[in-house]
A = this chain, B = another copy of it.
Amino acid sequence: MRLAYIWITLLILSILIPAGFWYVDWSKSGDGAGLYSRDWLPEAVFGYWNPDDFYQSVDTVVGEFEGEECVACHRDMSPGIVKDWQASRHAQAEPKVYCSACHGSDHQNLHLPTPDICATCHATQHDQFMDEKRYGFPSHALAMERALDAKHFVDKPKAEVTACLQCHSVATKCDSCHSRHKFSAAEARRPEACITCHSGPPHPDDETYFNSAHGQLYLNEGQDWDWSKPLQKGNYPAPTCAYCHMSEGKHQVADKSIWKFGIKQINPLSSGNVVKRQQWIELCSDCHEAEWSAQQLSAMDRERKQAWSKLDEAEALLKGLRSDDLLSPSIHQRPPYPGDDAHTLLQRERIGFFEGQASAFYNVSPIERDYFDMWYFSNLGAYKGSAHGDVSFINKGHKAMDQQLEDIRRKVTNIRAAGKTEADKTDPENIWLKGEYTEYNREHN
């Protein structure tokens, strides 16, 4: 009898597991890209952000052209980019690295260079960059893949996803940082190379670095520094993004990360983090006393603990409401996320990072949105202020978290006092049916 159960289970698994693999493969084989490639088609412009998947040359010029020929025409047509190339190491190399080396020669099948094309010469940097994948997301190397696999990319109006993909294209094209066609290392060492993407909530790296004493020194005198020097001890009077996060020019940016960008609470003294901490102290010691650096990191531990004491209370309050079925509209009233088939069996409001709230921007009850804002904007702003030495963002972030927590407390009190029926009256089911991330939008996307 028992044996029969085992055989039956194995039989079912031997069908289900391949079926699962097949289903994922099938999902990914649509005209779009990512896990939801059958539900979501890119706009034409996406070809420029993710050339491997989407770029199609529409060029009408016929012929094969090499090196000097490319330059001869483009010197008049687009003199700016030719000048940039002429100022680059590509033009000084022997032999020169011409346009055709990266774009191809057949003018009707030109391609936009992807990282693997750059890797034919710059293998070390490419390998370091790809090594980030081992560290999971967030990381540069997984920026495009994980974005395309996210549920809310299907649901979100395509016109807005365009904005997202511009920065997430850091995974699919090297000129996010090394601006074409000079590809200057000196330029990429400056903070401006990073902050086209690393600015604004939820990652105010721009604002917090430039508000810090380090950033002010850069602004004050950075134009006189010798940017041709490698990112090493003694070469720069103050650190920049790359000096700390890509020290010695290493293109693996994720491996010193301790606090996981502030998105979840971690143990800052795990064995792995103690090693990373030592790496930071060594780095800071290029200029500062080691004890100073250690105490700065401890101060940051405490700032994080303080932030999470606030976030945890908010999360607990919301989970309490969910237990008592007081969130409104409830998950049964909201339209499901696309491809959220598993959730139709076991629906639940997602509250907090571990339940996947990163996808829950909008399709939530108002109090869940308050918590999301508290977590994603105020908390992450404070984190960046703390990490980069910008006290104004620590203050702003914690002040905002205090206010949001207090507002959440009050709302919880009110919702509990009013009870489900009363709350429903002011939160009718049909509100979300007209919102983003809904069937409505999907039809009109």
Interface pair B417/A287, CB less than 8 Å apart: no
Within 8 A of B (CB), among A231-285: 233-234, 236-237, 285
Q: What is the CA–CA distance of A234 and B166 in the complex, to the nearest angstrom? A: 25
A221 lies within 8 A of B187 (CB): yes
Write the A368-379 contact mask toward B (1 if CB under 8 angstroms, else 0): 010000000000
A71-89 vs B, CB cutoff 8 Å, 1 = contact: the mask equals 0000001111101100000
Asked whether, in the complex, the Cβ of B434 is within 8 Å of the Cβ of A295, the reply is: no
Q: Kindly supply a per-residue 1/0 record for chain A positions 281-317, scoring 1 wherever the CB is within 8 Å of any chain B CB and 0 otherwise.
A: 0000111000110011011001101100100010000
Which secondary structure dominates where chain A touches chain B?
A: helix
Contacts of A47 in B (CB 8 A): 295
A-B contacts, 29 of them at CB < 8 A, read A43-B295, A44-B295, A48-B295, A80-B237, A83-B237, A84-B237, A157-B398, A159-B302, A163-B394, A163-B395, A164-B395, A166-B391, A187-B220, A192-B216, A192-B217, A192-B220, A193-B216, A196-B213, A200-B211, A200-B393, A200-B395, A200-B396, A201-B392, A206-B211, A362-B406, A366-B406, A410-B431, A413-B428, A413-B431
In the complex, given contacts A44-B295, A80-B236, what are 11 additional A-B residue pairs having Cβ atoms less than 8 angstroms apart?
A45-B292, A157-B306, A159-B306, A162-B302, A163-B385, A196-B212, A197-B391, A199-B211, A200-B395, A200-B396, A417-B426
Residues of B within 8 A of A442 (CB): none
Known contacts A159-B305, A160-B303, A306-B160, A216 near B196 by CB under 8 Å:
yes
Are A220 and B234 interface neighbours, CB within 8 A? Answer: no
Over the window 142-183 of chain A, the binary record of Cβ atoms lying under 8 Å from chain B Cβ atoms (1 yes, 0 no) is 000000000000000111101110110000000000010010
* A296 contact set on B, CB distance < 8 A: 45
- The chain B residue sitting closest to A409, CB to CB, is B431
